[in-house]
């Protein structure tokens, strides 16, 4: 039981490049989330998926898109990376949108030059 | 708007002492709070939670106190150990909206001196 996994662990992009961050959970959770964490800041919600087939914007969705591929997987895409998107990205999951605490992955460190 | 704040960005304690990390919230309708621990290079990890129908909850070496009157909660760590060194976040899990989302504070960095 790996919990929440994320790939890649680290990525360097040039401005304007695109990439997709992958997240998967094996806990049969319904809800999944993407956060970004900047130095000295708490986590800010980018997008979430309350259940398979649904996605909604969080606090800072601009510049990102998401896909809930199936119950296990929730990906985050940067279509045209900008230096302001340099951050650490965390994926999380919960049994349901109002159930319990969030289980976090190890994070993806993204540097946009 | 909704905000969750912490009183101190850093806290340094001696090994074996008790640690107290404070957090304030602004939404009087908030009914569920969670404390997370984040070690360097890792994702946040659940420590303990508390619902608004309680004013105290205890776990293993940790206690969370909730004062709804002043919208304040605290995390107490007993007999702090070097392994407790991390950033601690309080999160407001207000479920009054259409979906339950967490609002995180900025975090307090706890350093434990040997």
The number of residues making up chain B comes to: 114
Q: B106 and A40 in contact by Cβ < 8 A?
A: yes
> Whole-angstrom Cα distance, residue B30 to residue B92?
7
B-chain residues near A105 (CB < 8 A): 43
**A10, A19 Cβ separation under 8 angstroms:** no
Give yes or no for A88 touching B (CB within 8 A). Answer: no
Angle at B33 between CA A27 and CA B12, to 5 degrees: 100
> Tokens 């002492």 belong to which residue?
B17
A-chain residues near B25 (CB < 8 A): none
Angle at A111 between CA A76 and CA B10, to 5 degrees: 95
What is the chain A residue with the closest CA to B48? A101
Residue pLDDT tens, chain A, 113 long: 789 999 999 999 999 999 999 999 999 999 999 999 998 778 899 999 989 999 999 889 999 999 999 999 999 999 999 999 999 999 999 988 776 688 999 999 999 99
Residue among A31, A30, A27, A23 nearest A73 (CA) = A23
Q: A41 and B106 in contact by Cβ < 8 A?
A: yes
B-chain residues near A33 (CB < 8 A): 101
| DSSP three-state, residue B83 | helix
A-chain residues near B49 (CB < 8 A): 101
Give yes or no for A60 touching B (CB within 8 A). Answer: no
- Taking any CB pair shorter than 8 Å as contact, residues of chain B touching chain A are 4, 9, 34, 41-46, 49, 89, 95, 99-102, 104-107
To the nearest whole Å, the CA of A100 is away from the closest chain B CA by 9
B-chain residues near A92 (CB < 8 A): 43
B15-25 pLDDT, tens per residue? Answer: 999 999 999 98
To the nearest whole Å, the CA of A18 is away from the closest chain B CA by 24
For A35, how many CA atoms within 13 A lie in the half-sphere containing its CB? 23
What is the chain A residue with the closest CA to B95? A98
A14-33 pLDDT, tens per residue? Answer: 999 999 999 999 999 999 99
More confidently predicted of A5 and B29: A5
């Amino acid at each position: 039981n790996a919990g929440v996994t994320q790939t890649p662990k680290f990525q360097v992009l040039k401005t304007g490049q695109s990439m997709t961050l992958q997240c998967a959970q094996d806990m049969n959770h319904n809800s999944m989330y993407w956060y970004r964490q900047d130095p000295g800041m708490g986590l800010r919600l980018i997008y979430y998926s309350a259940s398979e087939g649904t996605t909604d914007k969080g606090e800072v969705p601009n510049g990102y898109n998401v896909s809930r591929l199936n119950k296990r997987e929730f990906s985050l895409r940067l279509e045209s990376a900008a230096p302001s998107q340099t951050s650490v990205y965390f994926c999380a999951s919960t049994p349901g949108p109002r159930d319990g605490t969030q289980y976090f992955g190890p994070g993806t460190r993204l540097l946009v030059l | 708007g909704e905000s969750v704040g912490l009183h101190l960005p850093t806290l340094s304690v001696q090994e074996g002492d008790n640690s107290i990390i404070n957090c304030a919230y602004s939404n009087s309708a908030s009914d569920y709070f969670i404390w997370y621990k984040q070690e360097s290079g890792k994702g946040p990890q659940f420590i303990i939670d508390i619902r608004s129908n309680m004013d105290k909850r205890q776990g293993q070496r940790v206690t969370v106190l909730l004062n709804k009157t002043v919208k304040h909660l605290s995390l107490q760590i007993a007999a702090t150990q070097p392994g407790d060194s991390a950033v601690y976040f309080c999160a407001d899990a207000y479920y009054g909206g259409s979906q339950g989302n967490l609002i995180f504070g900025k975090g307090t960095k706890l350093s434990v001196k040997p």
